[in-house]
Amino acid sequence: MAQLDSSAAFIKEYQERFEKKIRDNEVALLEHWKAQLDKIESMRPDSIASLQLQIRKLSEMMANRIKVLKKA
C-alpha cells in the first residue's frame, strides 16, 4: 500500500511540474509576441499601408514559427 501512495504522490508532483512548465512556456510565448506588437506600435507608422506591411510581417513570422513547431 505504501508503494501505491508513493506512486500517486510521484504522479501528482510530476503532473504539477508539467502544468507549471506549460504555463511558463505560454507566458514566454505571449511575452514574445506582445513585444513584437509593442515594437510595431512604437514605430508610429505614417500610413495605413506601412502599418499593414508591419502587421503582415508579424503574421508571416508567426506562420513560420507555427511551421517549425509542427515539424518538431
- Identify the CA nearest to 51 among candidates 64, 36, 41: 41
Cell numbers placing 16? 504539477
Rounded to whole angstroms, the Cα distance separating 52 from 55 reads 5
What tens digit of pLDDT does each residue of 20-67 get?
Answer: 999 999 999 999 999 999 998 888 878 899 889 999 999 999 999 899
Distance CA 15, CA 18 (A): 5
Q: Tell me, what's the pLDDT at 19?
A: 94
Taking CA atoms, 9 is separated from 4, 18, 48, 63, in Å, by 9, 14, 57, 40
What pLDDT, on a 0 to 100 scale, did the predictor assign at position 69? Answer: 86
Q: What's the confidence (pLDDT) of residue 1?
A: 59
> Is 33 in contact with 62 (CB distance < 8 Å)?
yes
